[in-house]
């Protein structure tokens, strides 16, 4: 499949998640078989002022391609200017956030709030498309609320304005991340446009990824919360789709330990040990889900301050789980 002139191999995309999908985690997920990654969202307004944090969020590496840089805002000219500035990082695509439901984004007329102004959606896509030479993708929701489901309308407008692919999260803004995603709206968008459509919402494993592809006809699936502490989901999806529904076993404790260590080493190398270890706490806790003694290990993860602390913790996790044959009561809480 191609998005514009970008060749995409595989069917699973790593979703943009603030505070999660930084360069280090994208590196890990691409190594596990993610076919496309999207950065954390970058404020177009902040880019006007040369915000260093925004440029850091948008940093890319050749080992983690293809990757789209996601931007958010509500002013077409500001969005276009931000996209032009971000070209210094050589993104494979620019993704426009029209789906973020959190109050500080949607409450400022950006993210999912754009779906209440279809004409502005088109103006933004057109402006950004004219500003840069890479493909433009958009991420939308089903609509603002259950009384304003307009994903098909928005998708058509964005395609006409120059979007090369559209991601549809099958929930409304008011749903946030609760309830069940409506895959029918993804199917409707796929039927309404000719560009590739990426389905998002309730893809939790290889089987649900396959089911979404079959039921909606979408071209790819986007994985968000199910990838937290679980980059292996991408190779599991790939194996299931390409190897006659093969279900891969979960990673061995030894592999889990190696990946955690590699991830946190990269995090600290890029952001410094103090900041890196603060951010590592949540990642490490996610990685521990399902392990013997997980509750106590997650508590200890929340106290990490140095890489040496992590080494001690991982040694204890390995010792507790190397000979484990079953789960203790409460480990999966």
Residue 242 CB partners (closer than 8 Å, separation 6+): none
- For residues 151 and 316, what is the distance between their CA atoms, to the nearest angstrom? 49
* Long-range contacts from 233-237, C-beta under 8 angstroms, 24+ separation: 233/12, 233/32, 233/205, 233/206, 234/10, 234/12, 234/14, 234/29, 234/32, 234/33, 234/34, 234/35, 235/32, 235/33, 236/205, 236/206, 237/11, 237/12, 237/33, 237/205, 237/206, 237/209, 237/210
Between the two ends of the chain, the Cα-to-Cα distance in Å is 39
CB-based contact 59:304 (threshold 8 Å): no
Q: Is 176 left (phi over 0), alpha (psi -120 to 50) or beta?
A: left
- What values do phi and psi take at 199, rounded to 5? -90, 140
Catalytic residue among 100, 121, 158, 218: 100
DSSP codes joined into one string, 161-198? HT-SEEEEEEEETTTTT-S---HHHHHHHHHH-SS-EE
For residue 48, give both structure tokens.
Answer: 């006007």
CB-based contact 223:38 (threshold 8 Å): no
Can 100 be counted among the known catalytic residues? yes
Residues with catalytic function: 100
């Amino acid at each position: 499949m191609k998005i514009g002139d970008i060749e995409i191999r595989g069917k699973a995309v790593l979703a943009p998640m603030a505070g999660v999908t930084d360069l280090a985690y994208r590196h890990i997920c691409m190594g596990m078989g993610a076919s496309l990654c999207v950065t954390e969202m970058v404020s177009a307004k902040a880019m006007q002022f040369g915000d260093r944090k925004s440029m850091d969020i948008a940093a890319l590496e050749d080992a983690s391609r293809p990757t789209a840089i996601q931007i958010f805002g509500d002013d077409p000219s500001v969005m276009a200017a931000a996209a032009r500035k971000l070209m210094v990082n050589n993104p494979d695509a620019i993704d426009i956030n029209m789906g973020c439901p959190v109050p500080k984004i949607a409450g400022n007329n950006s993210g999912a709030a754009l779906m209440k102004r279809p004409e502005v959606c088109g103006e933004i896509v057109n402006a950004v498309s004219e500003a840069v030479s890479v493909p433009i993708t958009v991420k939308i929701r089903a609509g603002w609320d259950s009384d304003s489901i307009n994903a098909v309308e928005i998708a058509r407008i964005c395609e006409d304005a120059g979007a090369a692919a559209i991601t549809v999260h099958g929930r409304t803004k008011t749903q946030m991340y609760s309830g069940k995603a409506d895959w029918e709206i993804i199917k409707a968008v796929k039927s309404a446009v000719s560009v590739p459509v990426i389905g998002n919402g309730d893809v939790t494993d290889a089987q649900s990824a396959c089911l979404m592809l079959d039921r909606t006809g979408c071209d790819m699936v986007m994985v968000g919360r199910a990838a937290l502490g679980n980059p292996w989901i991408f190779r599991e999806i790939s194996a299931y789709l390409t190897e006659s529904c093969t279900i891969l076993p979960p990673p061995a404790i030894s592999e889990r330990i190696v990946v955690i260590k590699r991830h946190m080493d990269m995090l600290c190398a890029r952001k410094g040990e103090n900041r890196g270890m603060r951010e590592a706490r949540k990642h490490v806790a996610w990685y521990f889900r399902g392990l013997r003694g997980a509750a106590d290990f997650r508590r200890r993860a929340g106290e990490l301050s140095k890489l040496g602390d992590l080494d001690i913790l991982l040694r204890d996790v390995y010792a507790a789980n190397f000979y484990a044959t079953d789960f203790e009561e409460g480990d999966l809480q």
